[in-house]
Amino acid sequence: MTASIIDGKMLSAQIRAEIALETADFTAKTGVTPCLAAVLVGDDPGSQVYVRNKQKACEKAGITSQLHTPSAETSTEELLALIDRLNRDPAVHGVLVQLPLPEQIDERQVLEAVDPMKDVDAFHPENVGRLVQGRPRFLPCTPHGILQMLARNDIPTAGANVVVVGRSDIVGKPMAVLLMQRGGGGDATVTVCHSRTRDLAEVTRSADILIVAIGRPRFITAEMVKPGAVVIDVGMNRTPDGLAGDVDFQGVQQVAGRITPVPGGVGPMTVTMLLHNTLTAARLQTS
């Protein structure tokens, strides 16, 4: 068996075209152009690439983008002042603070300072709480992108055993919450694994759908995957051989039923859902 590829690049292009049409219609009816303000502190090369990709995607979707680039020596207070200005600017609908931040900055304080109505990453405690209660304002971009990949590839979650490897606030935790919600895209039986999980391979082999987000290149091997399982690889690791996911793609592809590649899998979907959230934020602030 060789797993079929879940093509995130192709799917994201399709959804971005849909968002572009919706954005054009929204702007025509309201005179308002959605605007995303990205804050990039310092000159981390990886973060610069991510932000450039987001800016290009915004432009193609008809969404205005701003880029604010405080120096790497910026203090927490200076960054909070910038976020306050963006919160109060009616022309800005979404505010994104690119992570990671330099060590001298209080990351939690900064993320909590973003207006929940403009928090298009869905990191603010208010938006996290709404998500847990099943009445979200915005869905976190990467988990939402994964749900879209599953739904649009006719991969059912209802009744499925889903194993999420990784418990980060950005991917693992919200992914598990979304999958266990009632209704479309949810109703799964979810297990979350982490560094203290015993017999990890035994747990991952129980998964009908295996979602991996731990930041360790090629960590999940073929012996850890149930034959025919759907494998979603969220990892994006820079190695001497180039980019690699958290899954040993070559080996696991021989066991799984469907699998996402790296690059070209989850990554493009994350940016696409950011566009979706920016349009949603503009709608909420305009109505």
Q: Which residues are catalytic?
A: 54, 98, 121
Query: 169: exposed, middle or buried (C-beta count within 10 Å: 0-12, 13-18, 19+)?
Result: exposed
Query: Strand pairing partners for 123?
Result: none
Query: Nearest to residue 63, comparing CAs of 89, 100, 38, 83?
Result: 38
Contact residues for 96 (Cβ-Cβ < 8 A; gap 6+) = 36, 37, 38, 39, 54, 120, 121, 274
Neighbours of 102 (CB within 10 A): 17
In contact, 218 and 244? CB cutoff 8 Å = yes
Place of tokens 């994350």: 270
Beta bridge partners of 210: 163, 231
State the Cα–Cα distance between residues 42 and 53, nearest whole angstrom: 17
For the record, the structure tokens of 151 come out as 């739904």
Listed in sequence order, the residues at least 6 apart from 106 whose beta carbon sits closer than 8 Å to its beta carbon are: 76
Can you tell me which residue has the tokens 């982490």?
194
Structure tokens at 105: 């900055």
Token pair 């990467």 is found at 142
